[in-house]
Amino acid sequence: MAAIAAQFAANVWRLKLRSERWDNEALQILDSLIHPVLEEVEGREPPNSPAPGSCYIVPDGAIGEWSREDKKLACFTQAGWRFLEPYEGLTAVRQADAVPVIYLNGQWNFGKLRGFELIIDGRKMIGRPTAPIAAPAGGSVVDKEARAALAEVLHSLRSHGLIEAQKESRISRGKGTCV
């Protein structure tokens, strides 16, 4: 938390403006650092006529006024562009689709939610992945269609991270071989 406060103070105090303009600038910067709402960037250069208060993530390799400002927040104020160094855990929202954007480990992450469980109306819907579930194998009656359907369900659950992937191993049991 102290590092976030220090980064915030460094960004705000970097502005050297007269007092009346300073108040407006400081409030815009504060708003941009507390909960930025991001606009879409087309290409690698700044938009031609941004509205005051609009914020963007500067893409890698940006050109023009954004050159050498990669990954920073570019916020347009009445005095021009202000580039804010993102801090670890900074959370923004992309205005076009309300997708959360989080700055972690030096990268902007779009639409990735992190947590331990999803609760809707007080009911746990998704939690940590469970133990692996073995695919059906063996038995005296083989129902290929049922096994194929179950294999698809297991694949889907694994690909969504709801259950752990089973380590492949070959075990011989009686008449057949299990995978």
Q: Which residue type is seen at 173?
A: R
pLDDT in tens, 35-81: 899 998 888 999 999 998 899 999 999 999 999 999 999 999 888 99
Tell which of 110, 145, 165 closes a domain: 110
Range of the domain at 172: 118-178
Do residues 20 and 55 share a domain?
A: yes
Predicted TM-score (pTM) above 0.85: no
Task: Return phi, psi of residue 20, to 5°.
Answer: -65, -45
Retrieve residue 53's tokens: 């208060």
pLDDT of residue 174: 44
109 or 2, which is more confident: 109
Q: Is 77 in a helix, a strand, or coil?
A: strand
Domain count, the chain: 2
Do residues 94 and 124 share a domain?
A: no
Do residues 93 and 128 share a domain?
A: no
- Model confidence at 18, pLDDT cuts 50, 70, 90, reads very low
Task: Return phi, psi of residue 119, to 5°.
Answer: -120, 125
Do residues 17 and 89 share a domain?
A: yes
Percent of the chain whose predicted confidence (pLDDT) is above 90: 36
Do residues 6 and 91 share a domain?
A: yes
Of 87-91, 114-118, 135-139, give the range with the top mean pLDDT.
Answer: 87-91
**DSSP state, 39?**
P
Residue 16 has pLDDT above 60, yes or no: no
Give the span between the Cα atoms of 102 and 86, in whole angstroms: 10
Do residues 37 and 92 share a domain?
A: yes
**Cβ proximity of 76 and 87 under 8 Å:** no
pLDDT in tens, 124-150: 888 887 777 777 777 777 788 888 888
Do residues 93 and 147 share a domain?
A: no
